[in-house]
């Protein structure tokens, strides 16, 4: 059971940051609340009384998204359902709808935020691999007495271990900025024990761009989750494939190397068996979708 001695709903970023800067020990930021409420239950944290909850869902500056060149900046209140409902976001970030559809369920996606998923830093977080693949960067802000201080950090550097990040005291995530990947084919694969409301045993995000002939990898983005303390971008495999022809044998060879990346403490054998096949399937599906996207584009042109 979760109780708060105070519950605040700031409307602006300065208000939120000021509250956070002065917050008593044990205070918590509340974004979607879909993690904090289940956390305060028996078997996990048990009954928890927090001195202060700062609910960010009404902070104006954290809403919405905008595109700047080849990057898109997502306000921290962007929820998972946005990747399914907003056709523009789906086009810019083709991997996100495939990931979103695996994320929790329809109801939770209305509340749960991408930023919250990153900050929670679960090794099995669905959101981190696609964000890594899209060179995700966070804007972190804090209150400096009379003004807001912001810094940016790559998500790859931000997540340091299970539940651990480089978020400094007084800081909150203001936005998540991602590469736009228009024209890429994307795939998100996840294995768990069922097909909805499932926590990943392992997941992989893949993005593929083909060259103009549609036969070679022009770009490859690949990231794995659930196989170690932090999700990981697989740059060596990306590099191995870039410029090469899209070929099953080559993909299989490249993917075989991923088994060695498994560094989880549990179900190691299983993860080692699954991951290479999984990475293969993701690359092949992404390549196929890239071909379809290319054909569609050709048709329109």
Partner 1 sequence: MQRKMRGRGVAASWYGIARTATVDRAGAWAELDDGGTAKVVTGVTEIGEGILTVLAQIAAEELGIRPEDVTIGDNDTARSPEAAHAGATRQTYMIGNSVALACREAKARLFAEIAAHWEVDAGTLVAFDGELRAEGTNLAMTMAEAVDLCKRRGVVPVGAGHFAAHGTGLNPEDGSGAPWQAYVFGTQVAEVEVDTVTGEVQVLGLWAAHDVGRVINPRGVEGQIEGGVVQGLGQALMEDYQTANGHPVTHGFAKYILPTALDVPEITSILVEDPDPLSPLGAKGIGEPALVPTAPAIINAIHDAVGVRIRSLPATPEKVLAAIAEKQARAAAAREAAE
Partner 2 sequence: MPEMTLDMRVNGRKVTRRADPGQRLLDFLRDELNLTGTKEGCGAGECGTCSVFVDGKLVKSCLMPAAKAQGADIQTVEGLARPGELDVLQKAFHKTGASQCGYCIPGMVMAATSLLREAPEASLDEIKERMGGNICRCTGYTKIIEAVALARDVVTGRASPAVLEPEGVGESYIGHNVRRLDAPSKVTGRLKYAGDMVMPGMLHMAVLRSPHAHAEIVSIDTSEAEAVEGVACVITSADVPGKDGFGVFVHDQPVMARGKVRHVGEAVAAVAAEDVATARRALAKIRVEYRELPGLFDPEDALRPGAPVIHDYAPDNVVKHIPIRKGDVDKGFAEADLILEDEFSTQQVEHAYLEPEAGLAYVDADDVVTVISPSQNITHHRHMLSEIIARPINKVRFIMSPVGGGFGGKEDMIYQGMLALAAMKTDRPVRLVFTREESIIASAKRHPSRVKYRMGLTKDGRITAIRFEMLSDGGAYGMSSEGVMRKAAILSCGPYEIENLQVDTTAVYTNNTPSGAFRTFGGMQAQFATESMMDIAAERLGLDPFEIRRRNMMRAGSLTHTQQRLTSASIDRVLEAAEQASRWEPGAPTMRGPMRGDLGGPGTRAPCTLGARFETPKDSKERVA
Minimum CB–partner distance for residue 265 and partner 2 (Å): 22
Q: How far is the CB of 23 from partner 2 (least distance, A)?
A: 15
Beta bridge partners of 68: 71
Q: Is 197 in the site for partner 2 (CB under 8 A)?
A: yes
What is the nearest approach in angstroms of partner 2 to the Cβ of residue 38? 4
Which of residues 20 and 278 has its CB atom nearest to partner 1 in the complex?
A: 278
Site string for partner 2, 11-30 (x = CB under 8 A): -------------------x
159 or 279: CB nearest partner 1: 279
Kindly state whether residue 163 participates in binding partner 1, applying the rule CB under 8 A: no
Q: Judged by CB under 8 A, which of 18, 211, 256, 270 binds partner 1?
A: 270
Residues 64-93 that bind partner 2 (CB under 8 A): 81, 84, 87
Distance CA 235, CA 144 (A): 37
- When CB distances are held under 5 to 8 angstroms depending on the partner's kind, the choice from partner 2, partner 1, none that residue 111 binds is partner 2
- Contacted by 278, from partner 1, partner 2, none: CB < 5 to 8 Å by type: partner 1
Residues of this chain that bind partner 2 (CB under 8 A) = 1-7, 9, 30, 32-34, 37-38, 41-43, 47, 53, 55, 57, 81, 84, 87, 97-98, 101-102, 104-108, 110-111, 195-197
Residues of this chain that bind partner 1 (CB under 8 A) = 38, 41-43, 191, 193-199, 201, 267, 269-270, 273-274, 277-278, 280-281
């Amino acid at each position: 059971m979760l109780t708060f001695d105070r519950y605040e709903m700031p409307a602006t970023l300065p208000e939120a940051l000021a509250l956070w800067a002065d917050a008593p020990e044990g205070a918590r930021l509340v974004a979607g609340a879909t993690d904090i409420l289940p956390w305060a239950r028996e078997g996990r944290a048990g009954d928890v009384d927090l001195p202060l909850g700062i609910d960010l869902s009404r902070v104006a500056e954290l809403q919405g998204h905008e595109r700047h060149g080849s990057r898109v900046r997502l306000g921290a209140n962007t929820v998972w359902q946005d990747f399914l409902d907003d056709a523009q976001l789906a086009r810019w970030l083709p991997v996100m709808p495939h990931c979103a559809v695996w994320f929790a369920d329809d109801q939770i996606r209305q509340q749960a935020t991408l930023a919250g998923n990153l900050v929670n830093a679960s090794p099995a977080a669905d959101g981190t691999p696609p964000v890594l693949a899209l060179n995700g960067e966070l804007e972190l802000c804090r209150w400096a007495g009379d003004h807001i201080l912001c810094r940016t950090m790559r998500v790859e550097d931000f997540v340091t271990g299970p539940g651990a990040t480089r978020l400094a005291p007084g800081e909150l995530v203001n936005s998540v900025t991602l590469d736009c990947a228009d024209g890429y084919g994307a795939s998100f694969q996840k294995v768990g024990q069922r097909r909805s409301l499932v926590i990943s045993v392992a997941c992989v995000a893949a993005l593929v761009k083909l060259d103009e002939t549609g036969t070679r990898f022009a770009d490859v983005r690949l990231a794995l989750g659930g196989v170690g303390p932090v999700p990981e971008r697989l740059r060596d495999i990306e590099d191995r494939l870039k410029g090469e022809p899209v070929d099953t044998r080559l993909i299989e060879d490249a993917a075989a190397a991923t088994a060695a990346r498994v560094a989880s403490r549990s179900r190691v054998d299983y993860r080692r068996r699954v991951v290479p096949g999984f990475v293969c399937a993701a690359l092949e599906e992404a390549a196929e979708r890239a071909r379809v996207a290319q054909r569609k584009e050709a048709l329109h042109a």
